[in-house]
A and B are shown apart, each in its own frame.
Chain A
Amino acid sequence: MFYKLLPTIFIITGLLVFTFSCKPGYDREQEPNNTFAEANDLTIGRPMQGMIDSVDDVDYYKIFVESRSVLSAELTGLRGINLSMKFFKHDSPPVLLKHIDDARKSSPEFLTNVYVEPGIYYIKVEQGARDPKSANTENYYTLRVKTRDYFYEEKEPNDTPEQATEILPGHDMRGYFSPAYNPMNSDDPDHPYREYDWFKFDVQLRHDRPLSAEISISGVPNIDSSLSLFDPDLELITRSEHNRTGEPENLSNVGLTRSGTYYIRTEAKGYMVNYDTPYKLSVNLNHHNPLYELEPNDTIEQANPIKDGLIYGDFGHQQDIDVFYYKPREGPGFYRVELTPSPSINPEMRILDANENTVAEPGRREPGSTVIYPNLHISEYVYFVLSTGLFIPDKSSEYALNVERVEIKGLVDYEPNDTRSEAVRLEDRDIIKGFTSIEGDVDFFLLEFNTRKRIEFEAAGGKNSHIKVSITDPMGYTISEYESKEGRTVTFTEMIDQKGYIIVESILEDYDNPYIINLRKK
C-alpha cells in the first residue's frame, strides 16, 4: 500500500518544495528608501519593482559593482507620471554622475551606458521637474540594471572637457548618442540640455612640424550629428555638420600646429537619441604634407600657402570653405588656374587679389568637371576661396588646385575688365590677346587717339570658341559688331572718334586658346 502511494508522495513533496523555495523573478522596494542611507540593495541583472505611492515619494537603490564595467539601467514608464532617475557614485556626499529625464509622462527612461569601477553606486527614482507631481498607488515601475565588460569605449559621463574620454589615435572608439536630454547641462547658452560626448588625445610635435588629423564619426540611424575639434585652449578649430540624418561626419586634413591635449566633441542635434546603435569615432594623425591643405583654412587669415603651384584639398563637410594663397616665385604675370575635383563634388572658386577684392568667380560646373581660369594676372599674390555645392558624405570630396604661369605675348586681358570703367587701355598696341575666362565673359578694351582714326580690325576667337566683337563710340554705345566662330577670322573697318571701346563677349568659351585681335591704322 505504502509503495503504491510512494509516487504520489514524491510528487506532492516536490510540489511543496518547489512552491516554498521559488522566489518571484523580481525584487520589490522596501519603504522607507527615501535617502541614500535608506537605499534598498539592488542586484545587478534582477528587476526591482517600486511604487511612487505619494507625491513626494523618491526611491533610492544601492548597487555594488565588483569590476570595471559598463552599466545600463532601464526604468519602465508609470502611467500619468513623468519618471526620471539619477545615477550617483558613492562618496561623501554622493556624486551625481548622470541625470536621465526625457521630460515625458508615462514613458520609460534609459541609461544606456555609464562607466563604473568597483564600488558603490546609487540610483534615485523620482519624478521629473517638468510636470506636476502625482502619485500612482496602483502600478509598479520596474528598474532593471545590467552590466557588461568595458572594452575601449566612451566613459560616460564624458559630458564636459574635464570628463573627456581619452582616445588613442589609430584606434576606433565606440559611443552612444544617448540620453536625449542632459538636465545637468541646463546652463549651455546655445543648446540647453544637449548631451555632449567629449574625447581627448595628446599631441607632441617633433621640431614643431605640424600634424594632420583625420577625424570621423560614423552615421547612426535617426541621428543628425555633428563633430567638433578643439585646441588645447578649448578654442574651436573646426566643425563638421552635414545636417543630414544617419550620415557620417568627418574632419579632414586638420592641422595640429602645437603640442598639447586636443578635444573632440560629438553631439546629436534636436534631442535625437539612439540607445541601440553606437557610433564609431576614428582619429588618425599623420605628418603634414605641404602638398595638402591644413585645416582650418576657412578664412583669409587662415589661408594655406600654395608652395609650388599645386595643392590638394578635401571638403570635409558641406559647409567647408578652403582658402589658399599663392605668391608666384616667377613674379608678376599671367597664370592659368585649374581646379580638378573628384566626381562627386562641383566646387566653386572665388579669386581675390591682395586687397581681397574679387577678381573672378569661375562658375560652378558639372560634378567632376575641372574649373579653369586661363588668364589670372597676379601682381603680388592672390587668394583662392573654394567651396562645393554638391557633397556626398561617404564619397570622395578631394580636389587638386594647380596654378601655372602662362607665357603668351600680347596677352592684355587683365581681369576684371567686364565694364567700361574697368576697360584695359590699349595705348599703342596693335595686337590684343585675351581669353574667354568664364562663362559669358565680357572684356572691355579702350582705344584712345589724338585724332579720328580709321582702324582695320582682324579678329579671331579661340578655335573652340564663339565670340562677338563690338566697337563702340566714345560713350560706349555699340556702333558695329561681328562674330567669330571656331577660330575663323573676321575683318572689318571702323572709325574711332579719338576714343572707343572694343568689347569681346563670349558666347561659347575656349579656356585653352586665346582670341586675337589685330589692329591696323588705315
Chain B
Amino acid sequence: MIISAFISLASIIVSIILAVFPASDGFPDEFNGALASLGGYVGMLDPLVPVSTVSTILTLVLLYEFTVFSFKGIVWAYSKIPLMGR
C-alpha cells in the first residue's frame, strides 16, 4: 500500500508535468546511422575493452546528469509561479 501510493503519486505528478511537453520524433536517421557505424569501429576494441560495459556506464552517467538537470529545471520553473514560488 505504501509503495503503491508512492508510485502512483509519482506517476500522477510526472504525467501532469509531461502533459505540457510535445511528442518527440526521435533522432534523425543520419544520427542513428552514424552511431551504427561507430559501433563497428568501437567493437574492434572489445577483446580488450568491454564495450558493453562502457556503453552501460555512459548510459548511467547520462541518466544521472539528465535527471539532475531536469530536477533543477522543475524547481526553477516552480519558483517562477506567482504566489507559490516565492
Do these two chains interact?
no
Chain A interface residues toward B at CB < 8 A: none
Chain B interface residues toward A at CB < 8 A: none
